[in-house]
Chains A and B, each alone.
Chain A
């Protein structure tokens, strides 16, 4: 069991290494002639106006909140799904009631109009 996790640990080292090497090769062989105009950030041919890392209104922060709820509840459902074959009918019904509560939450959010892009 630990062996498989060791393999994944090694994979976590190897996976970033391959694209990193692919980027380091052109660091050596590619030309490098920076000049001030080339280094400007692109803004439709104009000089960049003001700070680029600006704040703007994010229309979907409520979406992110709903996402959080749904994702956590989906994680709760995974053990239920794994053990499904051994569950009694009562536990299956319990799981379905849980999903219905989830669905009710979605309907509530829908009726409260937080799912509208505004």
Chain B
């Protein structure tokens, strides 16, 4: 059985603690200058009916996708999730919280290069404290 190591040191603590938008990218990826790519497909509702459960599906059309990161610009801690992929994988889906209407930014690392794409998601009532 493989368990997560409690102190693996791999957890990007600084990225999760960063509060403002360009800082988050700098802490997480070392740069805030990331090129856009339409090959990152983001499937998410235009208007989230429940801000606490916003389903997102990410499909990366980029060859050799190594990691997928989700960043919600409007949240108090914008860095949401970071998926490291070790095989030929290109799809990840989960459910996220959004405290306000904002952009969902998806950063994909493929062949060592960072690419980003974003989608605005509108949020109704029931916002949360994330």
State whether these chains interact.
Answer: no
Residues of A within 8 A of B (CB): none
